[in-house]
Amino acid sequence: MRGEHWAIVAKTGDGKTLLVKNLIKAYRTKYPFIHTYILDSKCLGDFTSKDGPVTCSLQPPLPLREEGDLQIWQPIERTNIDLYDTYLMRILENGKPALIVIDESKNLKDGNRYPKGYELLLSQGRLGGMFTFTNYQEIANGLRQGLSQATHVVGFSVLNPYDENYLRKALKMPPKASLERPGKHALRYINRDTMDSPKLYSGYQELIAELFSAKE
């Protein structure tokens, strides 16, 4: 089982959280045994007890043990890179196939500091069946290596010209190509391993249906 890395770029209200939740559901249906970790560093209600067990704590919770378990961690101290590193390293060292959601990447970066565990998940996790989902509201201040190393890139909308240029590059688009969308929830998607250019979708439902019907 080979993992995959997702990078999802969107502003608030674009539908990013709905996409991520439905990706989680689709992957957990395909791989019922897989562990699921949601690092909800924003703690703004995007993920609640309706989505699974929530741990709100200073210290990171221990890795999951039972097949198919799900864990949502909402850290009390949201700017402690060392605690994030401990959490992600434990998941990697647990050695079990897992879905790992980073709900907002800029919260895991402090200047040039970021969790070493995140870098290792990107570089080593695919071989161990680790699937990462890194969300970006701001590429410039986020974990850019998650975007550059992603297999799957989804672009909704961006905040500034720097992010526009970075997103075009990640989507394999020409430097001056338009990022306009036909609707508020429309998105562009590319599998960087198999596609030469992105495809435009009307919404996350269309993307999920196409990807997971094709995988069956």
DSSP readout, 116-158? HHHHHHHHHGGGGTEEEEEEES-STTS-HHHHHT-SEEEE---
pLDDT of res. 189: 98
CB-count exposure of residue 194 (10 Å: 0-12, 13-18, 19+):
exposed
Residues 81, 51: Cα–Cα separation, whole Å:
25
Task: Say if residue 135's pLDDT is above 70.
Answer: yes
User: If pLDDT is split at 50, 70 and 90, which confidence band does 57 have?
Assistant: very high
Task: Say if residue 45's pLDDT is above 90.
Answer: no
How do 5-9 and 152-155 pair as beta strands? Answer: parallel
pLDDT above 90 covers a percentage of the chain that reads: 86
Residues 116, 102: Cα–Cα separation, whole Å:
14
pLDDT of res. 215: 47
Strands of the 199-201 sheet, one edge to the other: 54-57, 70-75, 35-39, 98-102, 130-136, 5-9, 152-155, 187-191, 199-201
pLDDT of res. 214: 52
Among the four given CATH numbers 3.40.50.150, 3.40.50.300, 3.40.190.150, 3.30.1330.20, the one describing domain 5-152? 3.40.50.300
Q: What is the pTM of this model?
A: 0.94
